[in-house]
Structure 1
Amino acid sequence: MALVSRNFLKAVSKAGTFMNSETSLKCISSLTRFKAGQDVSTYSTKATTKGDESKILQDEPVLRQEKTSKAMRVYLERASKHDEFLKQQLTDYNIGKRHLANMMGEDPETFTQEDIDRAIQYLFPSGLFDPRARPLMKHPDVVFPKRKAAEFDESGRPFHFLFYTITPVYYQLFHDVACLLEELDDFEDTMIRKRLLPDPTQTLNLSGSQWATREQLEVILIEQVSERAYKNFVTVMERLCEHPYAYRVKDFIEKYRKPLISQATTLDIPKPQYDADGRSFVTIKECLRKRARGEVTMRSPGTGKVVINNRGIDYFEDDQPREQLLFPLIFTGMVGKVDVEATVDGGGPSGQAGALRWGIAMCLRSYVDKDTVEKMRIAGLLTRDYRKRERKKPGQPKARKKATWKKR
C-alpha cells in the first residue's frame, strides 16, 4: 500500500456514502496494480470477504478469455476451406502433369508449363478455336484468382496498420513511395555536400513500357481501385521517376510497369506510292479468309468510292458483309477520305468480306497515326483470321455430327 498516496486514501474514506468498503478496496487494488505496471483491463481479482484487503491483494490474476464472434468464425472457416481447396487443386495438377509427362515419354521432374501446353496441342489436334472449348491445364495460382490472407486475428484486431482506410495495400504503396523519396532526397543531399552530380549514364529509362492499367493494378494489389485513385497512383509514381536518382529504386518502379507489346507489325507499314495523277496508293496482296483470296488497293485522297470486282458495294447482297467491309473505315474515321479497289474470289460472302476487311485495315496503316494503328491492333483489325472449316472425321457424317445411337 506504500504506492497509494495518503490523499487518495483520505478521499476514499470521506466518500463512504457513495461507495462501500468492498468497492473502495477494489479501487485501491486496481490502482496498486496499475502503478506496479500491470494491465488492469486484462486481469481481474477474486474477492471472497468484505474488508479483507490483504486477501484481495494476494489473489492471483485471472486471464480473461476473449470470445470469437460468429462472423469471425465463419470467416476463418471459409478461409480454411479455400486453403484446402487450393491444396487439393495443386495435388491434382501435379498428378496430371506426371501422367502427361509419362504419355509424352519425358521426365516428370523437368516437365515445364511450356511442355504441358505443347503436349495438349499435340494430343488434341482438333479445330477448337473457341478458347472456352480448348483443353486447359494451368497451375492453380494462374487459374484461380488470388485472395487476401487473413486481415485480422481471432480477437478481431487487424494486422495492417492501415486496415481502416478500406484499401490498406493501396495506401501502403503511397507510404513506400514517400519513404523512397525521403531516402533519395537524403542521398541527393549527401552527393551535393560531396559536390558530385548525378551520373548521366545511369538515368532511369522507362521506354518500351507503360504504367500498369487500373485492372492490372487491382490484380497486383488485390483491391478495388477507382479511376481517381488510379490517377493519383500514376501522379505519385511519375513524381518518383522524375527524381534525379530514381535509378536507385528501379526494381520498385518496374513492379508497376508493363512492357509494351511488340510493334514489329507496325514497323512494316508500307510507304504509299504515287500514280500518274499524283495520288498516293497502297496495295495489299494475299488477303486470306477461309477459302477466299483477295487483293486491296487504297487511294488517297478519295471520295469514299468502293469497287469490288468492277462492281460497287452492292457486290454483297446482305447487310452483314457490307458492315464488315466498312468497319475499318468507320473505326478510323476515314469514310469519304479514301477510295478502295478490291478483287476477290473463292469462298462465300462471309469469307470474302473478312478477307477484304483485313486488307482494308492493313492499307489504312499508311494513312493514320500510330495511336490509331495501336487501337486497330487492340480491336483485332490487324490480326489475320486463320480459321478454316474443320475436316470430316472417318466414321462420322460430318466433323462433329455422329450417327444417332438407339438402344433398341
Structure 2
Amino acid sequence: MAVSTFIRCSHFRRLVGINSNAVALFLNTTRHSNYVKSRSYATSIDEIEDTIKYSTKKPEKKISKAMLMYLQRAKEHDEFMKKEIVEYEIGKRHLANMMGEDPECFTQADIDRSIQYLFPSGLFDPKARPMMEHPEKIFPSRKAAEFDESGRPFHSMFYTSKPNYYETLYNIVDKIKSLNDVEDSLIRQGTLPMDKVNLIGSTWFQKHEIENQLLESINDFEYNYLITSLERLSDHPLSRRATDFITKYRKTLNTHSNEVAIPPLEHDSTGRPYITVKNCMRKSARGEVTIWGNGSGKIIINGRDITYFEEIHHREQIIFPLLFTNMTDKVDIEATVNGGGPTGQSGAIRWGVAWGLRSFVDKAMVERMRVAGLLTRDWRRRERKKWGQEGARRKFSWNKR
C-alpha cells in the first residue's frame, strides 16, 4: 500500500527532487524487507546445526588420478599384509602346539629352533630349510606417498625420478662443504686437521643393498658414482665428524679376530716330529689320528693298512688331504676309530688328517685347505624318521581302491 501511494504521488516526487534510481533502491529494499518478514527461521537445535553446516561447507578438492591409484595400491597392500600377519600368527601357534610350548611366549628363536628340530640333518644347508619369519621382514617395505591429493609432490627432487638417490648425493656434498669450513677454521688457528674415520673391518654396501635402503633402482654407473662420492667424503681429513652418515652405507665384515692357534709339533725320544688329533667325529664314529713326520706315506688304521676300507671312495677320503698338500710320501698316519660305518669312520679320519697337517704346512696352504673345506667338520647326520611315514621322506603306499 505504501508503494502504491508513493507511485501515485509522482508530482510530489518531482517536487522534492527524487530520481528514478532512488525509487528503484527503495523498491528493492521494500521487497527484501517483505522477504525477511515472510521467511521462517529455524527454532530447533538440529535445524540450526544443518543451517551452519550447509553455510560453512567448503567445495570438495579434486583428487588426482595418481593419488587415487596410490591410495588403491596402499589399501591392497595393507589388506595383504594383514592377511599374511594373521596366517603367520596361526602358523606360529600351530608350531608351538606341536613343540608342546606356550604359543604366547613363542619367540622367533623358538621358531628357528623348532624348524631345525623338525628338519634336523637331512637339510644340511640352512638355505634349504623352510623359513618362517614375520611378514614385515620378508616382504620389502613400500615407498610412502610422494605427492598430496592435488598431485603436488612432497619431495623437492621428485622430478629427478630418483629423489632419494639424488638427496643422498646432495647430503654428501653438504657434508663435504661443512667439513671444508671446519678445516679452514682449524688451519687459520694453526692446527693441522687430521681426524679421519676408521673404516677397517667394513665394506661398502653392494648395489642391491643400496637399492633396498633407498627404495629405488639404480644402474651400475649411478652406484659407482655414489660409492666414489662416499669415498671422497671418507678420505676427508675430518671425516670422523661424519661417521654416522658414512656407516649407514657400510657393513661389517665377519672377521676371525681370534685366529685358531695351530698346535706346535711334538717330538718323541728319537727326535721324530708328530702331532695327535683327538675327538675326530663324523656321524656316530669317533677316532684319533696321529701324523708322524719324516715318513714314507704309510697309513695304519686300527692295526691294518688302508685296505681296512673295502670301498675305493672311502680310501680316497683319507688320501685326499695328503694329495691336496703334497704330503703323500712325507708323513705316516696312525688312526684308531670305532663306532659308525665305513662312511662315518673314513670321514672322521679325513678330518683328523687334514686338521693335523696344519702343523706341517705353511699358512698359505692352511688357507687353501680352509677354502677347500678340509678344515670344516661335517655335522650331517641321518635324517630321523617322521611320524606317519615309512621313513624320513618315504611315505606309505596309498591305494584309492
Q: Same fold (TM over 0.5)?
A: yes
* Residues 146 and 158 in structure 2, CA contact (< 8 A), matched pair in contact too: no
Q: What is the CA distance between 1:251 and its match in structure 2?
A: 1.6
Counterpart residue identity of residue 380, structure 2:
R
Counterpart residue identity of residue 161, structure 1:
M
TM superposition score normalised by structure 1:
0.58
Partner Cα separation in structure 1 for residue 131 and residue 344 of structure 2:
29
Matches within 5 A, 1:52-131: 81-94=76-89, 96-97=91-92, 104-105=101-102, 107=104, 112-118=107-113, 124=118, 129-130=123-124, 131=126
1:161–1:384: structure 2 CA closer, same or farther, 3 Å change rule? same
Q: Deviations over 1:101-155 (max 9, x none)?
A: 79633755xx643354456667x48656354675543111322345556778997
Q: What is the CA distance between 1:210 and its match in structure 2?
A: 3.7
Partner Cα separation in structure 1 for residue 342 and residue 215 of structure 2:
47
1:227–1:139: structure 2 CA closer, same or farther, 3 Å change rule? same
Matched, 1:362 2:369: no
Aligned residues: 332
1:66–1:253: structure 2 CA closer, same or farther, 3 Å change rule? closer
* Residues 273 and 294 in structure 2, CA contact (< 8 A), matched pair in contact too: yes
Provide the identity percentage: 44
Matched, 1:139 2:131: no
Aligned with residue 186 of structure 1, among 181, 185, 190: 181
Matched, 1:385 2:385: no
Partner Cα separation in structure 1 for residue 299 and residue 191 of structure 2:
68
Q: What is the CA distance between 1:195 and its match in structure 2?
A: 3.6
Q: What is the CA distance between 1:286 and its match in structure 2?
A: 1.7
Matched, 1:266 2:259: yes
* Residues 151 and 160 in structure 1, CA contact (< 8 A), matched pair in contact too: no
Partner Cα separation in structure 2 for residue 150 and residue 372 of structure 1:
54
Alignment match, 1:4: none
* Residues 274 and 291 in structure 2, CA contact (< 8 A), matched pair in contact too: yes
* Residues 204 and 250 in structure 1, CA contact (< 8 A), matched pair in contact too: yes
Question: Tell me, what secondary structure is at the counterpart of 1:268?
Answer: coil
Question: Tell me, what secondary structure is at the counterpart of 1:385?
Answer: coil
Name stretches of at least 5 consecutive residues in structure 2 with no aligned partner: 1-60
Q: What is the CA distance between 1:176 and its match in structure 2?
A: 3.0
Matches within 5 A, 1:159-198: 161=157, 169-170=164-165, 172-198=167-193
Name stretches of at least 5 consecutive residues in structure 1 with no aligned partner: 1-62
Matched, 1:351 2:318: no
Q: What is the CA distance between 1:323 and its match in structure 2?
A: 6.1
Partner Cα separation in structure 2 for residue 355 and residue 318 of structure 1:
16
1:313–1:257: structure 2 CA closer, same or farther, 3 Å change rule? farther
Question: Tell me, what secondary structure is at the counterpart of 1:285?
Answer: strand
Q: Deviations over 1:187-206 (max 9, x none)?
A: 22223333445587xx6344
Structure with the greater relative contact order (CA < 8 A, sep ≥ 6): 1 or 2? 2
Note the aligned Cα RMSD (angstroms): 5.1
* Residues 162 and 172 in structure 1, CA contact (< 8 A), matched pair in contact too: no
Counterpart residue identity of residue 175, structure 2:
L
Counterpart residue identity of residue 176, structure 1:
N
Matched, 1:285 2:278: yes
Partner Cα separation in structure 1 for residue 209 and residue 76 of structure 2:
27
Matched, 1:244 2:237: yes
Question: Tell me, what secondary structure is at the counterpart of 1:104?
Answer: coil
Q: What is the CA distance between 1:406 and its match in structure 2?
A: 5.2
Flag the structure with larger Rg. Answer: 2
Q: Deviations over 1:272-308 (max 9, x none)?
A: 44678988654432221112334445577999x5736
Partner Cα separation in structure 2 for residue 214 and residue 144 of structure 1:
19
